[in-house]
Structure 1
Amino acid sequence: MRTAAAQLALNEITKRYDTRVVLDRVSFTVRPGERVGVIGDNGAGKSTLLRLMAGVERADNGEITVVAPGGVGYLPQSLELPPHATVADVIDLALAELRELEARIRVAELALAGHAEGDAGHAEGDAGHAEGDAGHAEGDAGHAEGGGAGSAEAYDRLVAEFEARGGYQADVRVDAALHGLGLPGLDRARPVGTLSGGERSRLALAATLAADPELLLLDEPTNDLDDRAVAWLEQRLRAHRGTVVAITHDRVFLEQVTSTVLEVEEGRVRRYGDGYSGYLVAKAAERAARLRAYEEWKQELARHSGLVAANAGRMAAIPRKMDKAGMGTGAWRARSRTHGAAGRVRQSQQRMRWLTDNPASRPPDPLRFTPTFEPDQVMSGTMDHAASRTAGLALSGAVEHAADRVVDGVVEHAADRVVDDVVAGLDGVRVADGVVAGLDGVRVAGRLRVDGLTLRCGERLLVTGPNGAGKTTLMRVLAGELQPDAGTVRRSGRVGHLRQDEQAGPPERTVLGAYATGRAGSLEEHADALLALGLFRPSELRLRLGELSYGQRRRVELARLVSEPVDLLLLDEPTNHLSPQLVEQLEEALATYRGALVIVTHDRRMRASFTGSHLELRAGTAV
């Protein structure tokens, strides 16, 4: 059942967990039929917002209105089920409203059948006493007719509602959804505990979609889906007859499905129209306006500072006392032409104090990856003397990051061969003819086999393959973090590695401490550098790593990568748990990076726009 009255409205909603305010006086409305994408940094409060919409949690303040006669379907990011539950149990849970409606129809059918039998028996009795009490029979007949009509009308209403919600096709839709999401022919009697985490997620999503509710609330529905399944899901949601609200980090999903974007940031929710493209245009305009306001603030501060200095100089040239000042002649006439300078100085000083107390916020510096060696210098084989000194540091860095290699069972130590990789001369530095990394006959038992791979400065390589294909193993070998069982690994210069699953440091270490670890300089200097990137707010620098979300910990590692030069940049699923806006900034930084890049990603938009070489791995071997 679809109705134009269906709506979702939040008014002044506040939600706290202990002393932390997750959502602060949030208000917005979702119109019937809208397809809304909810985005924001990991830990910003997106899932909390969806749970409030679904009624799973209650707000501390404010009012939530949900009007959806056709039902509400809610898919959490993780579904907790007892291990003895079966596939059929999960489906019945998602179809609970339809199953209840179907049960009420069965009860109504039994009531009608029982009423009909009673009427038949009563009619026979009345026929036997027709001569005795015709009036009484007429009364009973009228009563029976009234009761039967009421039961029949209730039954008809239930059936109409069931049909309007597609109840008779629900199980067919379950099968279609399971097929579209990559689980065809899933046994309904199979225990859920025997399914993988990804299979359980797809089962829950299929069952939620099959319920076909008027309002769909989905938390990261594209997780654990391959490209084919995501394409099917996008088509299914575009065809959905009701309203969709979905949390997602998938930018292609946002482009293909959503008409409205809600951004959750710092406890507030901002609404953007015209889909994801409209969101990007609006964010670019916001940044331009912020930059313009900051430049105007700087210019006005500089102007008033100049006015104060200029007029103060003029005031200093005027004697405090002059001859015949009281007569209004002579020197007094000269002083009268300059006495307004004092007022201008006071006005400018007041304005400067106001500007200083109310500074315009500076936009974050764009993310930027930089190599130690420039490709044109490397390929020509020479650098200037300043670059030579930098390369000397790179030599020590290469020794630090390089790993030993195994040749015919003999270990050759890294420090003995890195000198061959970076060659210093009187005229400059040559980086092995531009080669920053190379693999030859590398074997990691049961995980990776690479006969040959060469990466030169400025080259870009996209590594793809199914889960377990050896992509992360390859990255760890290139980074020198995993010693191969056989083969040669050569590296030159510095290596930067953004790992897929890695803590940025001990849980008790602060954000600022993790960023500054192993770096020269004061904490104040590092705090300024970190805040300039816009990845953290000042209040977050003292948070401990154990208190951070996964996405926040990744931002610590990302900040370290962009703040030091690296010649070989290894990014393993860099978009995981980052907001779409930050991923856009990351792509811009990679577009101007001139070192060697190796990237592993499931991000469809990043893969589609990638320019460079492509290596596909299957079962640890290039195909």
Structure 2
Amino acid sequence: MRASLTSQLSLHGVTKRYDDRTVLEQVSLSLAPGEKAGVVGDNGAGKSTLLRLLAGAERPDSGEVTVVAPGGVGYLPQHLALPPGATVQDAVDLALGELRSMEALLRQMEGALADLPPGPALDTALASYAALRARYEAREGYGADVRVDVALSDLGLPGLDRSRPLDTLSGGERSRLALAATLASQPELLLLDEPTNDLDDRAVARLEERLRRHPGTVVAVTHDRVFLERLTSTVLEVEEGRVTRHGHGYAGYLTAKAAERRRRQLRHDEWREELARSRRLAETGAARLEAIPRRMEKAIFGAAAFRARGRSHGAMGRIRNAKERMERLTASPVAPPPDPLSFRAALVTAAGAEAGSRPAAELSEVAVGSRLRVPELRLDTGGRMLVTGPNGAGKSTLLRVLAGELTPDSGTVLTPGRVGHLRQEETPWPRSATVLEAFADGRPGDRDEHADRLLSLGLFEPSSLRLRVGELSYGQRRRIELARLVVEPFDLLLLDEPTNHLSPALVEELETALADYAGAVVLVTHDRRMRERFTGTRLELDGGEVCSLRRPTTCR
């Protein structure tokens, strides 16, 4: 597939609302052919909405969206929208929708051509058929299904049965299936929503290589910091209904954000200083004015009285001017840069110093069918363990065993302290429940106490507490899980893909909080930057078996 020089996408004055909530407001932007753009922002800011507008899956309430891509558009949503009972083949056909439509039209035209006699009508029909076939061949449509199988193999799903029901696949397997089929369609414009989620290192490396070679335009919503650094030339930040374009890739975005924050902080500091100066002038002038009558009593007549009255009028004028400046400054405050939503909770252990030298977790001869076999495993109090391995290796199974949610077929599991578990799967809260109700579910205390506690974490703004769970993005629902985890003390934290769908800034906050945490941590993550920074024990699983166990060493 060759990128067309005419391909482009642009938004002009686009506004998108859901009920009474404005997600995007008067957004204007454009991308040139061949650009590789990453879309970043806090969860729920409107990143996926922006992608759906570009894909034509939704329409704006006002404004214009223009996408010119003769080579086709490939859209990877976060979740497959298929009915119950759908199969792998249905998912492939959905992703190859443009090619499938072209195939159907080619067959229809072939049938019509056979019925046309020689003449102008046949010539016109043949020209239309040739043009459509050229477009189909330019996208290598005849090899699309073979490319799906190759992509599935690259992403760790070789030989996937096309008749297999989708509901028998894990969430990660469904995501990889959708990604493979989208890439296999070889469109000119790729719109990808969190493409690296649920991919192992090998699959991410293949994806990055494939996207770097892509001759067309790529727009990817992602929280993967390494992916942003390696792939993007442009970063689109979605914030407070606006979309801001930053050049020079992810590094340029970080530089621009830091500079913007310094400028806004400087303007706010100058405003505060001017307000304080005006207040001091008003207070000093009032004190001086109060002293003038005492001096006038001693000099009722003559030059002294004249000077005193002059000072009185001058002081009153300065006080009036200072108060007017205070009123103007107060009426037009310069806000400080917004504090990013942050993970500020102080993680502490339930047992504290009394834990002594007992292990935070200990397993002996544990077996869970064919999914997991752990002959021996110990994690000391305050220890750190990173569990790695390909998808299906048994990582989540191990965490469920440690959490007491899955009883092994044999062996013993010892976790003497309190255990907190952040699961990869979502908690099925009622869609009508609010953020605050989901956070408070099963916890003691009244509504105000829960609201104060949740807001103190910095994960939600006050206006978000009334939002319904059904209105939230996956990332926002993930924040509820994080909030519930950090408000209680635990001796052992089990974190299964904790960075999924979290903004890069929040991931940095999470890493800082965990670094200061006094308890033990067992971590499963595909976040490459988090793994690079990890310094504890590394446990590798494959096929449910322990392949290696490497403990940190101290060089003297």
Q: Structure 2-normalised TM-score? A: 0.79
What are the Cα deviations for residues 453-494 of structure 1, in whole angstroms up to 9, with x where unaligned?
Answer: 24344x433233455656556556767888997454344xx8
1:34, distance to aligned residue in structure 2 (A) = 1.1
The 3-state SS of whatever aligns with 1:322 is: helix
Partner Cα separation in structure 2 for residue 87 and residue 58 of structure 1 = 29
Count how many residue pairs are aligned between Structure 1 and Structure 2. 539
2:135 alignment partner in structure 1: 161
Which of 374, 380, 393 lines up with 1:455 in the alignment?
Answer: 380
Whether contact under 8 Å (2:87, 2:164) holds in the other structure is yes
- The residue type paired with residue 248 of structure 1 is T
Cα 1:333–1:106 shift into 2, 3 Å: closer
RMSD of aligned C-alpha atoms? 4.3
Say if 2:195 is the partner of 1:272. Answer: no
| Distance change (3 Å), C-alpha of 1:207 and 1:505 | closer
What whole-Å deviation, never above 9, does each CA across 1:330-382 have from its counterpart, x for those lacking one?
A: 2432453464333333333333344444252364386445465xxxxxxxxxx
1:364 aligns with 2:339: yes
Cα distance in structure 1, aligned partners of 2:447 and 2:174: 49
Shift of 1:95: 3.8
The letter of the residue matching 2:380 is: L
- 1:437 paired residue among 360, 367, 376: 360
Provide the C-alpha distance between the structure 1 equivalents of 2:481 and 2:99, rounded to a whole number of angstroms. Answer: 48
Q: 1:533 to 1:242 in 2, by over 3 A?
A: same
Question: Could you say which residue in structure 1 is the equivalent of 2:147?
Answer: 173
Change (3 A) 1:326 1:42: same
- Structure-2 separation of matches of 1:312 and 1:5: 70
8 Å contact kept, 2:234–2:250: yes
Within 5 A, what are the aligned runs for 1:119-268? Answer: 156-188=130-162, 197-268=171-242
Deviations 1:267-314 (A, max 9, x none): 322222222222222223333334334433443333333333333222
**What pairs up with 1:20-31 in 2 under 5 angstroms?**
20-31=21-32
Structure 2 residue identity aligned to 1:47: S
Determine if contact 2:3/2:34 at 8 Å carries over to the other structure.
no
- The residue type paired with residue 506 of structure 2 is L
CA deviation profile, 1:114-146 (whole Å, cap 9, x unmatched): 88xx78xxxxxxxxxxxxxxxxxxxxxxxx6x7
Deviations 1:507-553 (A, max 9, x none): 746539947997999949964x7657643223223445565444324
Question: How much does 1:29 deviate?
Answer: 0.9
1:537 counterpart letter in structure 2: E
Structure 1 pair 570–339 and aligned structure 2 pair: CA distance change class (3 A): farther
**Code of the aligned partner of 1:37:** G
What letter corresponds to residue 73 of structure 2 in structure 1? V
TM-aligned CA deviation for residue 64 of structure 1: 1.2
Give how far 1:147 is off.
7.6
Residues of 2 paired with 1:441 and 1:255: CA distance? 42
Any gaps of 5 or more consecutive residues in structure 2? 548-556
SS at match of 1:439: strand
Deviation at 1:56, TM superposition (A): 2.4
- 1:554 is displaced (CA, Å) by 3.4
Tell me the secondary structure at the aligned position of residue 535 of structure 1.
coil
Alignment of 1:218-617 (within 5 A): 218-319=192-293, 322=296, 329-334=303-308, 336-337=310-311, 339-357=313-331, 358=333, 360-361=335-336, 363-364=338-339, 367-368=343-344, 370=346, 397-398=350-351, 422=353, 432=356, 437-439=360-362, 441=364, 449=374, 451-457=376-382, 459-466=383-390, 471-472=395-396, 486-491=412-417, 498-501=422-425, 503=427, 508=433, 511=436, 514=439, 523=448, 527=452, 534-543=458-467, 548-559=472-483, 569-591=493-515, 596-617=520-541
Q: State the TM-score, normalized to the length of structure 1.
A: 0.72
Match in the other structure for 1:14: 15
Quick check: 1:449–1:621 contact (8 Å CA) kept in 2?
yes
CA distance in 1, matches of 2:21, 2:364: 53
Retained in 2: the 8 A contact 1:11–1:25?
Answer: yes
Cα distance per residue 1:221-243 (max 9 Å; x no partner):
33333222222122111111111
Structure 1, unaligned runs of 5 or more: 120-143, 373-393, 399-420, 424-430
Q: Distance in 1 between matches of 2:465 and 2:160?
A: 48
C-alpha displacement at 1:174, in angstroms?
3.2
Rounded Cα–Cα distance in structure 2 between residues aligned with 1:14 and 1:269: 11
Q: Which amino acid aligns with 1:31?
A: A
Residue number in structure 1 paired with 2:62: 61
Partner in structure 1 of residue 40 of structure 2: 39
Deviation of 1:32 (Å) = 1.0
Counterpart code for 2:507: V
Structure 1 counterpart of 2:356, one-letter code = A
Partner SS, residue 56 of structure 1: coil
One-letter amino acid of the counterpart of residue 608, structure 1: E
Distance 1:239 1:518, change over 3 A: same
Question: What is the CA–CA distance in structure 1 between the aligned matches of 2:400 and 2:185, rounded to whole Å?
Answer: 44
Q: Secondary structure at the match of 2:288?
A: helix
Partners of 1:559 and 1:302 in 2: CA distance? 38
Q: Output the CA distance in 2 between the equivalents of 1:444 and 1:207.
A: 36
Shift of residue 329, structure 1, vs aligned partner: 0.6
Aligned mates of 2:111, 2:130 — CA distance in 1:
14
Amino acid in the other structure paired with 1:277:
A
Corresponding residue SS for 1:317: helix
Q: Would you say the 8 A contact 1:601–1:607 is kept in 2? A: yes
Q: Is the 8 A contact 1:439 1:450 kept in 2?
A: no
More displaced stretch, 57-66 vs 507-516: 507-516
- Aligned residue for 2:296, secondary structure, equals coil
